[in-house]
Amino acid sequence: MKLIISGGGTGGHIFPAVAIANEVRRRHPEAEILFVGANGRMEMTRVPEAGYEIVGLDITGLQRRLSPQNLLFPIRVMRAVRKAGKLIEKFRPDAVVGVGGYASAPVLLAATSRGIPALIQEQNSYAGLVNKLLARRVERICVAYPGMEKFFPAEKMVLTGNPVRTEIADGQRAEALSFFGLAPDRPVVLVIGGSLGARTLNQATAAALPRLREAGVQLLWQTGKAYFPEAQQQAAPFASHNLQALEFVRRMDLAYAAADVVISRAGALSVSELCLTGKPSILVPSPNVAEDHQTKNALALVQRNAALLVTDAEAPVRLYDEAFVLLADPNRLAELSRNAHQMAYPRATTTIVDELLTLIHPRKNS
């Protein structure tokens, strides 16, 4: 079996792609899997770190403002499609998977024009531009949220959820409290702004440190690399009260297990992890993303009473007011947890690979 997986640009595209590849390899250890990404983007380092070969295309997206770069866009696309076509003719895949991002467009175009089966995986509740444009060319579209018929042909869609690490929900609270040095009789707030951090969450959290200390609330504050030196200084006077600034959290299973409330951006994978772990959350969507899709991700939970939403603009004033009110309401915490759990798709990765294998010739799926 030979498979090409294309796309990237952000962790929200890369991690699902790697999860799909891992599940294919678990079932078919002999499978040959080639990734195709965009030169200069994070997939060019993250994918090899996961143990897979990747080839880069010289492709970028359209600028959302008037830019001379946009004049070169059609030329870059044509060149990328030609290179993708040569890759496909040389590698001869049985199927192609697109996970969104710049690089998936030329690969899917080249593959579908040659009659190779193709599948798209859409992580967000508001479909990305590439996936919307290519939906009619592919055989299957795996989506993470109900109601995606407004973007894609209903007959091609399968509701699968997002591929996330299922072990993220396996952490035990006792081990988590010991790992982070937390007291068992005091509540814990976990703040996660993604691997790069989130300025608004960091500023609001720094301002709330005295209130957290006075209320006896413990804090695990994932700051991101760029913000860590300043946050570390801000948190240092409160260290004896278990208010911890952390550059990066490697044991997210234990961080979730320790948390009573999670404050987070609303990226697709973060939202999926919150549902899988069933954690009560306050979502602060990033305003700096295409089509404001993080707000739409957050609303998918809020409308089912599975999370709270505070806008980025409101966060400096409202965020920790909401957190303290939520921590004081056990019934509300339980309700949010229960409803979030009901939105989880723990078998997302296996379901996507099931769909992928049905596209490949039956002898390959034996």
Q: Does 10 count as an annotated binding residue?
A: yes
Separation between Cα atoms, residue 175 and residue 161, nearest integer Å: 29
pLDDT at 365: 46
| Whether the model pTM is above 0.85 | yes
Separation between Cα atoms, residue 350 and residue 347, nearest integer Å: 5
For the beta carbon of residue 136, count every other beta carbon within 10 angstroms. Answer: 11
pLDDT at 364 over 60: no
Q: Does 22 count as an annotated binding residue?
A: no
pLDDT at 191 over 80: yes
Q: Does 114 count as an annotated binding residue?
A: no
67-110 pLDDT, tens per residue?
A: 565 555 667 778 888 999 999 999 999 999 999 888 899 999 99
- Cα 350 to Cα 34, 163, 238: the distances in Å are 19, 8, 44
Q: Would you place residue 118 in the very low, low, confident or very high pLDDT band (cuts 50, 70, 90)?
A: very high
- Cα 115 to Cα 92, 137, 145, 182, 190: the distances in Å are 11, 10, 28, 56, 47
Q: Does 32 count as an annotated binding residue?
A: no
Q: Does 104 count as an annotated binding residue?
A: no
244: which strand partners?
220
Handedness of CA 38, 225, 201, 283 (dihedral sign): positive
159-188 pLDDT, tens per residue?
A: 999 998 888 999 999 999 999 999 999 999
pLDDT at 210 over 90: yes
Q: Does 11 count as an annotated binding residue?
A: yes
pLDDT at 193: 86
Q: Does 273 count as an annotated binding residue?
A: yes
Separation between Cα atoms, residue 74 and residue 282, nearest integer Å: 41
pLDDT at 165: 82
Q: Does 113 count as an annotated binding residue?
A: no
121-137 pLDDT, tens per residue?
A: 999 988 988 899 999 99
Residue where the block lists tokens 């973007």? 151
Q: Is 364 exposed, middle or buried, given 0-12, 13-18 or 19+ CB atoms closer than 10 A?
A: middle
Q: Does 6 count as an annotated binding residue?
A: no
pLDDT at 102: 81
pLDDT at 68: 60
The tokens for 107 are 């690969």
Q: H-helix or E-strand containing 282?
A: strand 281-283
Q: H-helix or E-strand containing 221?
A: strand 218-222
Q: In terms of Cα–Cα distance, which of 202, 211, 256 is closest to 232?
A: 202
228-286 pLDDT, tens per residue?
A: 999 999 999 999 999 999 998 989 999 999 999 999 999 999 999 999 999 999 999 99
Q: Does 203 count as an annotated binding residue?
A: no
In this structure, are strands 157-159 and 243-246 parallel, antiparallel, or unpaired? unpaired
Mean pLDDT on 203-207: 97
Three-state helix/strand/coil letters over 222-283 = ECCCCCHHHHHHHHHHHHHHCEEEECCCCCHHHHHHHCCEEEECCCHHHHHHHHHHCCCEEE
- Taking a C-beta distance cutoff of 8 angstroms, is the pair 54, 37 a contact? yes
pLDDT at 157: 97
Q: In terms of Cα–Cα distance, which of 180, 147, 193 is closest to 285?
A: 193
Mean pLDDT on 180-201: 92
pLDDT at 63 over 80: no
pLDDT at 363 over 50: no
At 233, phi and psi to the nearest 5? -65, -40
pLDDT at 238: 97
The radius of gyration of the chain from alpha carbons, rounded to an integer in Å, stands at 21
Handedness of CA 167, 169, 174, 180 (dihedral sign): positive
Q: Does 271 count as an annotated binding residue?
A: yes
Separation between Cα atoms, residue 6 and residue 106, nearest integer Å: 9
Q: Does 196 count as an annotated binding residue?
A: no
All domains of the chain, ordered by start, with CATH?
2-162+347-365 (3.40.50.2000), 167-342 (3.40.50.2000)
Q: H-helix or E-strand containing 121?
A: strand 118-122
Q: Does 199 count as an annotated binding residue?
A: no
Show Cβ contacts of residue 97 under 8 Å, excluding neighbours closer than 6 positions.
3, 4, 5, 6, 17, 20, 118, 119, 120, 121, 356
In eight-state DSSP terms, residue 103 is T
pLDDT at 166: 82
